[in-house]
């Protein structure tokens, strides 16, 4: 099983190579190298026993309730070993730790996300994504990506404070 960890600057070339491999196949959108260095803190990577990066994925925050899983991929030849699933689960666990309500993704591989519990929805449900990224995308008017989302469980601490009235001292 791959080890999942926070990405470091030294991982950016491998992340760039994986993402742009799939971009060349028109399965993902390309990401400039400078963009990856700027947002490396959003990424997790999977690495094999030899320390080679075999997968990556990022959690992009939009507000206090919402984040996007983006750039989730595994190195060619590393598919079907649980690496992508482990990355997705770790990103979702991170989203839960932050108390987020919903995580979404735009993807050409919706079946993967369905297996992780996501459901399909309209892209317009997430206007901040559309305005920030989609409108600038060359594929906007002929986009084949599916929008998927997952509502996260409410943190126990939040559910408790909202369910029980606060004590009032006289």
Read off the pLDDT band of 129 (50, 70, 90). low
What is the chain's Cα-based Rg?
17
**Is 27 or 165 the better-scoring residue by pLDDT?**
27
Using pLDDT thresholds of 50, 70 and 90, give the confidence band for residue 127.
low
- 167 falls within a domain: no
Q: Are 67 and 39 in contact (CB under 8 A)?
A: no
Confidence at residue 100, expressed as pLDDT on a 0 to 100 scale: 94
Residue 166, domain member (yes or no): no
- Portion of the chain with pLDDT greater than 90, in percent: 58
The CATH number assigned to the domain holding 75 equals 3.40.630.30
Q: What are the tens digits of pLDDT across the range 131-142?
A: 556 545 565 556
Residue 13: C-alpha distances to residues 17, 20, 26, 56, 105 (Å) = 6, 10, 20, 12, 23
Compute how many other C-beta atoms are within 10 angstroms of the C-beta atom of residue 86.
Answer: 19
In a domain, 160, yes or no: no
Task: Specify if 143 maps to a domain.
Answer: yes
Closest CA relative to residue 33, chosen from 48, 52, 20? 20
Split into its structural domains, the chain has a count of 1
pTM over 0.85: no
Using an 8 Å Cβ cutoff, are 68 and 105 in contact? yes
pLDDT level of residue 130 (50, 70, 90 thresholds): low
Q: Which residue has the higher pLDDT, 131 or 147?
A: 147
104 domain-assigned: yes
Cα angle vertex 25, ends 73, 76, to 5°?
A: 45
| Cα distance between residue 150 and residue 108, in whole Å | 17
Please report whether residue 165 resides in a domain.
Answer: no
Percent of the chain past pLDDT 70, that is, above it, reads: 79
Nearest alpha carbon to residue 111 among 133, 85, 134, 140:
85
What band does 40 get if pLDDT is binned at 50, 70 and 90? very high
Position 162 in a domain: no
Tell me if 164 is assigned to some domain.
Answer: no
Q: For residues 136 and 143, is the Cβ–Cβ distance under 8 A?
A: no
Per the prediction, the chain carries an average pLDDT of 83
| pLDDT, tens digit (0-9, with 9 covering 90-100), for 43-68 | 999 998 888 999 999 999 999 999 99
- Please, are residues 82 and 54 in contact by the beta-carbon 8 Å criterion? no
Domain limits for position 33:
3-155
């Amino acid at each position: 099983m791959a080890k999942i960890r926070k990405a470091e600057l030294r991982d950016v070339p491998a992340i760039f190579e994986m993402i742009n491999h799939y971009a060349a196949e028109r399965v993902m959108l390309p990401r400039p190298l400078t963009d990856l260095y700027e947002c490396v803190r959003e990424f997790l990577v999977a690495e094999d026993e030899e320390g080679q990066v075999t997968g990556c994925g990022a959690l992009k925050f939009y507000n206090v309730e919402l984040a996007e899983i983006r750039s989730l991929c595994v190195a060619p030849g590393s598919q079907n070993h649980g690496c992508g699933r482990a990355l997705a689960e770790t990103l979702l666990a991170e989203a839960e730790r932050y108390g987020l309500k919903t995580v979404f993704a735009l993807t050409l591989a919706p079946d993967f996300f369905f297996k992780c519990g996501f459901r399909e929805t309209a892209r317009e449900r997430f206007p901040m994504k559309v305005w920030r990224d989609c409108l600038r995308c060359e594929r906007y008017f002929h986009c084949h990506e599916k929008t998927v989302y997952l509502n996260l469980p409410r943190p126990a601490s939040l559910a408790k404070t909202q369910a029980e009235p606060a004590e009032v001292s006289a």
